Amino acid sequence: MTKNPSDTSKPQSRRKFLRQMTVLPVGLGVGLLPILSSAADTSIAAGIKALCFDVFGTVVDWRGSIIREGQLLTANKGFDVDWAEFADRWRSGYGPAMNRVRSGELPWTKIDDLHRMILDDLVKEYKLEGMSEAELVHFNEAWHRLSPWPDTVSGLNKLKTKFVITTLSNGNVSLLTNMAKNGGLPWDAILSAELSGHYKPDPEAYLKAADLLSLPPEQVMMVAAHPGDLRAAARTGLRTAYVIRPLERGPGRPVNRNPDGEFDYTANDFNDLARQLGA
């Protein structure tokens, strides 16, 4: 969250405080919460030329999408599976699989192939019997069909009017391209950690993106729902915008709301970020 150091205004009145509160949908179970965004720091926004977006969880709802794909399998194949647990397990295998590449145990491997390795183990564990190879390929490509969050497309279109907007995900280029086409995501470019031969949060992934955009790191902003991703980007000189996605891992999970103000911007969604950046 940014703060204007020249702001010497008196403590806000009760009326002003209430104007800065928002009532979120009852279904979220969080009641009355303060809007965390602040007035845009124009000195930072003026220097930004491109926004690089993390994708899984930031742009798209991976968990809800995988659950729906699993439910379709249940309807077609009769599987009795807790698909929320399955989705979490599939996603949780992602980090260890990347570490096998980093350690040299595996050669450089696309995320599609890592996803398939994890899926093959889960198919055995959950006894998903009778799936053909074509069905397994289709299920693995569920990651190509992830649904955007409700604000994603409208927010990206606003941000696109002022900045170059691109992905910067560990997802491989073909995965991200198919996802964009499926979800109507209006990227100016598809950049991937694949192009650097390093997964995020390795510094090479962020620096390669800035280099491909022909921009110095300080003119590029990383947008993500994951503090670790943003901290790694900041260490390479990129600016940072934290977008809160409270339902990424399901309801009832604790959410980091950037209380220490360590990131340049904090936003409730992409439309809020666009407002703060003057787009």
Q: Which of 161, 218, 271 is nearest to 44 (CA)?
A: 218
pTM for this predicted structure:
0.84
User: In the CATH scheme, what is the homologous superfamily, with its name and number, of domain 14-59+149-276?
Assistant: HAD superfamily/HAD-like (3.40.50.1000)
Q: Which of 51, 38, 40 is nearest to 238 (CA)?
A: 51
Q: Which of 132, 128, 153, 150 is nearest to 53 (CA)?
A: 153
Q: What percent of the chain has pLDDT over 70?
A: 85
Give residue limits of the domains in the chain. 14-59+149-276, 62-144
d(CA 238, CA 227): 14
d(CA 228, CA 97): 18
pLDDT-wise least confident of 38-42, 89-93, 211-215, 228-232? 38-42
pLDDT computed for residue 108 by the predictor? 96
CATH class of this structure's domain 62-144: mainly alpha
The answer to whether 90 and 119 have CB atoms below 8 angstroms apart is: yes
pLDDT in tens, 158-186: 999 999 999 999 999 999 999 999 999 99
As a whole number, mean pLDDT of residues 203-222 equals: 98
45 pLDDT exceeds 50?
yes
